[in-house]
Copies of this chain bind each other. A is one copy, B any other.
């Protein structure tokens, strides 16, 4: 047995390793990379005070994971030869924001935007999409109204259990797992168990999520992976690649951009965001892949996921001025980012029975060099 798992945080057990450090010095030797590490730091000052960051480094790829923000990924960095590629984007909100500084209900339910700056953040679990009042008519005819805030609570809910592990099998594997409860008395009771896993020395990682209904009654869930990418992937001439079965513009602004939907313009002040709702083509196992590439087709970021788990995909184009957050979102999800009641009417809200668990995985990869990018393009075309 070559696996080691260490608990960094467990609220119930009183576990808290302030200066956690697991690396090539005190851990096993990994064939895939002589160097690797998993460390934790707690940010101080500003609206970041108290935010935990777990840094996962596989020898080539660095990931900064935010247990305090629902196991989102803040940033990444990929080293390819002598060059480094930043993974993420530059939000006007510069540093990770502690949920104590985010009032989801403020700004007419748009308070979520006060803390939005991650490379990957989840929208969910009980709901995602725009704010509004969800009117639900029950079987017995009674009607309840629930005010929903933008993109739900999970990204502003901290993990109460965090563990990290390493295995020397094959090239070596590193992982970080967090457990986040989105619960309230008389309300939704959903648990996210999220694992970020990477092979030593590799150019990618996998996120595997489970969502459990902890309640003694059926519960609804929605989940969207808001993967946000800016420079150096987004620039004039960048292109998005996907095998598209169906595509629809979300609104009039997107409809006007339909003719050039996969292509990117330069950063544009006051750019009106465009969202395209996509049903991807998949292989016989349900697997599909999407790619964002820069103008020269020499840097790419791809996501591979299964449409049986995540049947819907949204492309969010928001190439505003750099100072305002020039960004695009690649967003595999259980549904489309419409208001929950609309999605419910289309059968795109998941109903979980008591103790039932939903699962999904996404593989992320960074592609450096024209050949690497072209390989992924070909794979997508072959779908």
Q: Chain A interface (Cβ within 8 Å of chain B)?
A: 9-12, 14-16, 41, 43-50, 67-68, 91-95, 99-101, 103-108, 110, 113-114, 116-117, 145-147, 149, 157-162, 180-181, 183-187, 189, 214-217, 267, 269-270, 320-325, 354-355
Q: Given known contacts A104-B106, A217-B270, is B325 in contact with A160 (CB within 8 Å)?
A: no
Q: Which residue of B lies closest to A17 (CB)?
A: B44
**Besides A45-B158, A105-B106, A116-B184, 20 new A-B residue pairs in contact (Cβ under 8 A), listed by A number:** A9-B45, A11-B44, A12-B95, A14-B43, A45-B162, A47-B160, A48-B160, A49-B50, A91-B185, A93-B181, A93-B185, A95-B160, A113-B186, A215-B321, A215-B324, A216-B267, A216-B269, A216-B321, A216-B324, A217-B270
Q: Nearest Cβ in chain B — how far from A160, in angstroms? A: 3
Selected A-B contacts with CB under 8 Å, 5 pairs: A45-B160, A46-B180, A91-B185, A100-B101, A216-B323
- Considering the chains assembled together, what is the distance between the CA atoms of A101 and B98 in angstroms? 10
- Considering the chains assembled together, what is the distance between the CA atoms of A21 and B363 in angstroms? 49
- Considering the chains assembled together, what is the distance between the CA atoms of A12 and B44 in angstroms? 9
**Residues of B contacting A216 in the complex (Cβ-Cβ under 8 angstroms):** 267, 269, 320-324
Q: Nearest Cβ in chain B — how far from A189, in angstroms? A: 4
**Residues of B contacting A181 in the complex (Cβ-Cβ under 8 angstroms):** 46, 93-94
